[in-house]
């Protein structure tokens, strides 16, 4: 039981774990494609570029896990931290070690269940928006570039001639800038362009909304602290008012008691005076 709780503490947010797991799957798929098509220069250029983008992300993930782990050395030696470190280095022979990162995602599914994970991810979709957009941009960038280079390479009038052109055109199209220096000339290439443009509008629209919400929305933590302070002040004032009311009631009862005693004493004195008057 203690070991299971320790493992749960080592897991990060569900959205973050799924993001790293998805990047690991994409990286492993890229390795498989490089193995299957070792002579395709355009494929190699695009996949090596995408892997170069993912490498610092994996290195940052290792550092984040290492410095936030409750037991750093246990994470490094028994939690496959050494595999995270080696797989984050820019060395092709170690990239297969990213398989170990998938183990965390498998643990998530096993411990929380697929339905609970999906529900949790959807519930916190606003917090996970940035990670989702980053992963989808990489996905569209990679497969959009691969698709456009293979559809345009068959045309003698192609304007997109190599992998570098394909990556440039795809990124410019995703960001909806559209310089116009590179463009598809074939019908299949234009279909790819439609997909990339549509995906780009959705992704960068989501990113803009996320940034606007983070920059312009009021500080929830500050509001929460202010609300808690106001609640505490109100409770304190209510307690003080109740104490004053109780004290006033006690004093009023004491005054009534004294008045009753004085009335009884006055009545007794009058009775004695009447008796003395009768005797006289």
Tens-place pLDDT, residues 54-87: 999 999 989 988 888 888 888 888 877 888 888 8
Task: Considering only residues 210 and 30, tell me which one the structure prediction assigns the higher pLDDT.
Answer: 30
Distance CA 143, CA 139 (A): 6
Tens-place pLDDT, residues 32-48: 898 898 888 999 999 99
CB 73 within 8 A of CB 161: no
What value does the mean pLDDT take over residues 102-121? 75
In a domain, 166, yes or no: yes
Residue that is last in its domain, among 217, 240, 256: 217
Average pLDDT, the chain: 80
Residue that is last in its domain, among 172, 190, 217: 217
Distance CA 49, CA 54 (A): 9
What value does the mean pLDDT take over residues 254-278? 74
In a domain, 90, yes or no: yes
In a domain, 249, yes or no: no
My answer on whether 120 and 133 are in the same domain is no
In a domain, 263, yes or no: no
Q: What is the pLDDT of residue 99?
A: 82
What is the pLDDT confidence band of residue 243, given thresholds at 50, 70 and 90? low
- Token look-up 């116009």 returns 180
Distance CA 180, CA 75 (A): 49
Lowest-confidence pick of 16-25, 186-195, 209-218: 209-218
My answer on whether 34 and 51 are in the same domain is yes
My answer on whether 170 and 108 are in the same domain is no
Q: What is the pLDDT of residue 81?
A: 84
My answer on whether 71 and 189 are in the same domain is no
What is the pLDDT confidence band of residue 4, given thresholds at 50, 70 and 90? very low
Q: What is the pLDDT of residue 195?
A: 93
What value does the mean pLDDT take over residues 108-113? 74
My answer on whether 35 and 119 are in the same domain is yes
What value does the mean pLDDT take over residues 252-267? 75
In a domain, 248, yes or no: no
CA distances from 239 to 79, 114, 227, 232, 242 (A): 52, 49, 18, 10, 5
My answer on whether 77 and 195 are in the same domain is no
My answer on whether 109 and 170 are in the same domain is no
What is the pLDDT confidence band of residue 175, given thresholds at 50, 70 and 90? confident
My answer on whether 157 and 213 are in the same domain is yes
In a domain, 177, yes or no: yes
Residue that is last in its domain, among 171, 193, 217: 217
Domain count, the chain: 2
What value does the mean pLDDT take over residues 216-244? 59
CB 196 within 8 A of CB 173: yes
Return all residues near 60 (Cβ < 8 A) that are at least 6 apart. none
Q: What is the pLDDT of residue 280?
A: 66
Domain of residue 45 covers 1-124
Q: What is the pLDDT of residue 248?
A: 67
In a domain, 65, yes or no: yes
User: Exposure of 59 by Cβ count < 10 A (0-12 exposed, 13-18 middle, 19+ buried)?
Assistant: middle
My answer on whether 6 and 105 are in the same domain is yes
Output the domain CATH number for residue 161: 1.10.287.70
My answer on whether 48 and 93 are in the same domain is yes
My answer on whether 148 and 104 are in the same domain is no
Distance CA 54, CA 88 (A): 8
In a domain, 268, yes or no: no
Long-range contacts of 82-89 (CB under 8 A, 24+ apart): 84/58, 87/58, 88/55, 88/58, 88/59, 88/61, 88/62, 89/55, 89/59
Task: Considering only residues 203 and 144, tell me which one the structure prediction assigns the higher pLDDT.
Answer: 144
- Does 221 have pLDDT greater than 60? no
Task: Considering only residues 193 and 254, tell me which one the structure prediction assigns the higher pLDDT.
Answer: 193
């Amino acid at each position: 039981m203690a070991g299971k709780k320790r493992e749960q503490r080592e897991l990060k947010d569900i959205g973050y774990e799924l993001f790293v797991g998805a990047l690991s799957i994409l990286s492993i798929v890229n390795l498989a494609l490089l193995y299957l098509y070792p002579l395709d220069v355009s494929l190699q250029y695009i996949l090596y570029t995408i892997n170069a983008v993912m490498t610092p992300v994996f290195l940052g993930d290792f550092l984040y896990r290492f410095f936030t782990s409750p037991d750093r050395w246990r994470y490094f030696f028994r939690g496959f931290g050494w595999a995270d470190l080696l797989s984050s280095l820019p060395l092709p022979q170690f990239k297969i070690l990213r398989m170990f990162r998938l183990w965390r995602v498998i643990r998530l599914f096993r411990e929380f269940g697929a339905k609970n994970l999906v529900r949790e991810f959807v519930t916190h979709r606003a917090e996970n928006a940035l990670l989702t957009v980053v992963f989808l941009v990489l996905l569209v960038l990679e497969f959009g570039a691969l698709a456009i280079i293979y559809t345009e390479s068959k045309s003698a009038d192609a304007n997109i001639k190599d992998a570098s052109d394909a990556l440039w055109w795809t990124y410019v199209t995703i960001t909806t800038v559209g310089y116009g220096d590179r463009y598809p000339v074939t019908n299949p290439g234009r279909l790819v362009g439609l997909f990339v443009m549509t995906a780009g509008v959705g992704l960068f629209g989501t990113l803009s909304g996320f940034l606007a919400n983070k920059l312009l929305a009021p500080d929830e933590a500050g509001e929460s602290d202010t609300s808690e302070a106001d609640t505490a002040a109100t409770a304190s004032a209510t307690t003080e008012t109740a104490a004053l009311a109780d004290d006033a009631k006690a004093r009023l009862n004491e005054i009534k008691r004294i008045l009753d005693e004085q009335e009884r004493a006055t009545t007794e004195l009058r009775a004695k005076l009447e008796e003395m008057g009768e005797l006289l």
